[in-house]
Structure 1
Amino acid sequence: MKWKTYFDEERIKRGYQYYQEGKVYNTIITPNTITTKVEGSHSHTYEVKITLNKDKQIESMYCTCPYAYSMDYCKHMVATLYKYEEITKNKDSNITNNIKNPQQQFKQLLDNTSEIELKEYIYQRYKDDEDFIKDYNLQFKPDTTREDYYEALNLLNNIFSTDTRKLYNENAYYEELPLNKYLYDFLNNNVKIFYDKCEFDYLQRLIYIIYENISLKDEINQYIDVDNILDMTDYYLEKVIESDNETKDDVFNYILNNIQYEYNKYTSIHLAQVCIKRYDKKSYLQKLSDIISLKIEQYDDNIPVELLAQQYEILKKIGTPTVNIEKYLEEYKNYNLIRQYYIDYEINENNYYKAIELLCEKRQLGSELSIDENKKLLQLYDKTEDNVNYKKELKNILVKYNINNIDYVNKLKEVCTPEEWKKEYSTLVTSYQRSHNYDFLNVIYVNEENYDALYENLINHFSLDAFEEYKKYLEDSYGVDILMLYENRILEEAKVAKHRGAYNLIIRYINAMLSYKNSKDIVIELINTLKNKYKNKNLLISELRDIEQEYQLD
């Protein structure tokens, strides 16, 4: 491996000193990486990672020291590479050749291991491995008993009887909410065991208790991820429903009673969704629809929108006549989600003018349309060939939302006269300038072949690297100016360059210059200037000579 060319003389000297002093430790070598810890100055310890390609050549180097943060290669990397060379040279190549058939050897050792030794090994090796313990308990634990159920029930009651205010001290920080973790583990462990053992009676009881306790707990959303826990609970309830028809009917009645008499904004919505998903027969869904209708009628206003959405879903599934569905959507269209359903429904029915009316009505009521709703309105104007409103909506989308989509710009241009487009183009440019969206301005300038504005935008708002992307548009008119920009930047960088990273930047800029037409003479003069001014910077001089040789710069 040739690695010393990455570093200047000082870095190699100091890195070798660190290596000699034994400051490299915790060395880990894999086929593609070298990782170490290196003791630095002032008792600081730095982590080094070097990535190798398939040919064992360096692909990338990383260190946590401040010097490396500025994209420089540091002495800690040097020390690591010396350590790597030491280890690879002294490696005993016979180690891996002694085991010709690992599987065969494993079987032989297993046959010769006593039961006591094997048990002791498994316990010591896996006693802290939670995943292994779960799998092992599930595999070898006998069938669940009534005592197992009462043990799980007692644990569940303890979880929900926790004083949440005391548990959630306002000054404490938790990576995961404690109550949420308790319930998550209970579902993943205790509940799962009853499901895996097909003990659906016990499983059903535990699930009901989870639903009921969540609905009774004040401000439960502050203590658990409600939807996540209920999604897990719903999964097991669906498995109970699938177990047999008698149980299926029992669960259905439980869900109806919950919605009608014990409605809760979290659990009842989840239970209703389970019902919609798992009870396909019209007789079931009609009963559910009747219960939800009664529930909706109990509200004067502020009806839970999820309840309205579920009723709409049921009406579609049971084949409700179109006129009745439209009547339902019309009645509750002031709820934003229902209005969205109404709009989509009318679009699917090819009633485009009604969909436009619903969108414009929302705007007239003082509500802002979302970007998706604006796009939908634009498509509807296009379908109905309403060019006046189509143009108006296009301008609204581009100016109000600063959409970075050149297709919308071109669509606006298509529906404008040349004189109109001059005005709209100026408005767009001003809008994107005010929002500092200079990237998309570049796209617009290229689209309009306004290369003077593109050059000014790049000069004022971008680094020199950005010119490479737009070279083909600017080279003919601004090639000489851009070469001067590169030259000035290189001369500034050379004044302070002291390491390979800085030299590499200079070489990259010179390569960029050489990609321009008629740049050879300018680059030759620049290289001669650098060689004369910085004779003591050996690494830079070497790189410049390589450039001269590669491009035949005589």
Structure 2
Amino acid sequence: MDWEGNFSEQTLDRGYDYFQRGLVRDFTQQDDGTLAATVFGTEAYQVTVKLNGNRLEKAECDCPYAAGGHKCKHMVAVLDYYENKIDPATFDDDDEYDWDDYDEDDMKAEETDDDKDDFASSIPTTREAIDMASNAQIREFLKYALTRNPELAVEFQMRTNKTVIKRRNNSYRGMIDDIFSMCMDASGFIDYDTADLFEKQLSDFIDKYLKPLIEEGQGTLAFKLTSYLVEELAEVDIDDSNGEIVMLADETDDLLKQILAEADLPLKRTIFKWCQKHATEKFGAFEEVVEDILFDNFEESEFLQKKLTWTADKLQQSQLNPGSWMDHRTAEKWASYHLKVMQELKTPEEAIKQFCLENLYYAKLRITYVTICVKQQNYDEAIRVLIDGQRSTPYPGTASDFGEQLKRIYLKLGQTENYLDELTQLETVYNPANLEDFQELEKAYSVTEWPKARQKLFDAMPAGTDIRRLYVEDELYDQLMDTVSKETDLFRVRDYEPILKQKYPDRMLQHYVDVIQTMASHTNTRRNYWNLVEILRHMRQYPDGKQVTSEIVADWRKRYGRRPAMMEELDRL
């Protein structure tokens, strides 16, 4: 429109946003082309503009920006409202239903209809009615409905007018950019104190603007804006110590899945290509989001075939330069994805087995290969491959996974000695002090055999293994108290305090005394002195705790009287 040349692109976008948000009220139009309305911004502003055709002759607004002689966004909002409102005069004179087309033969046909069903049951659903109507009938109804419902008319234009959609896209992008700019410092960094505001602003934007687009059926626009937001978030320099980026990753993940659930095939293809592109580059916290969307969706044959070829290529490329741990992990990722696609395509079992056999150095494929062997009752091969995997892997967690499979196979075959040996290896080497394995071992021994076998397990575990929960499991409270009394971290002491306070109150209180005296001997910050007082409060809950803590405080006042911060904190007690 000619009048748009009077405004900057930013002002056009922001004015359109005001219109789209319904902030234009009390609109009036005079015969000479003068438009007037109230626009709600920081305050309610009165706007008057005059058009001569599409040319802007006059524009006035009582906002501070316009008072300086500038053309403001409130003027644009009124002009957008004018352009997008549906004027009944713009429709043909024949937009009412033409009863002349409904003749007596039609009436007679209805009167002689043999269908005796109840009238309500014969009414078609909305979808059926649309399918039954001709294009001409649909257009006639749109004219009728939109003429009588201005709000619906505006929504119709927003969904169908390419210029409106483009302006809406630019407006929303500008809002995203504004949030980033507002929260960044001069160097483009979002610091710890601003990160929470940044997350809240974007979360509100998603709820207020992007989610409604999906409900409106504007999937393509919703994806354009969501993908733009994700790409910006992947690059932002931020101190997100409280997990702000992870929270936004979860929100955009949900958003992309909602868009995909409503997408037609062309939009799905667009999203698929976008996911492919970003699944092969550094994408920060959003790498997992993109990969999950790509491989948990797109189940149509067209996409599965593309994923099969693509993952095979990526696996081959990642195997060209093996060496580092990261190279191995990357190759294993693509091998696992390729296997997943093969299974989704219902590839013959022997072909899957062969692929796994060729890639046994990847844990997931080795486990799948073993699963197929067990299914085919080829137990010797399954055992051989698992033992070989345990010996070759440098990762205890992977060795533990292989051990779990081995254990189940031995148990299935009734090989009790091998089963117990493997279970013992799991408990003492691969996953020390695992409670479930400990309980499983206990069931394998008699009541008289178990204490000796249990002690052998404890002795075989690596130095430093935390076996306190195993003491609790078997009610070995003396050993538990001995272990806890060596702890200098009182938070770890509290893990088992409910049990030990009841059984050994004196020893527990004395342990607190020993630890807190050591803590107090060092000069500290006020925060640490505050913490000492909180510990003293906790100690007062023990029998004799009040007397003991009073003696400690009296002693500290004598010894540390020159620490004013400490004395002030002790006054709180």
TM-score w.r.t. structure 2 length?
0.46
Higher relative contact order (CA 8 A, sep 6+): 1
Query: What is the TM-score when the length of structure 1 is the normalising length?
Result: 0.47
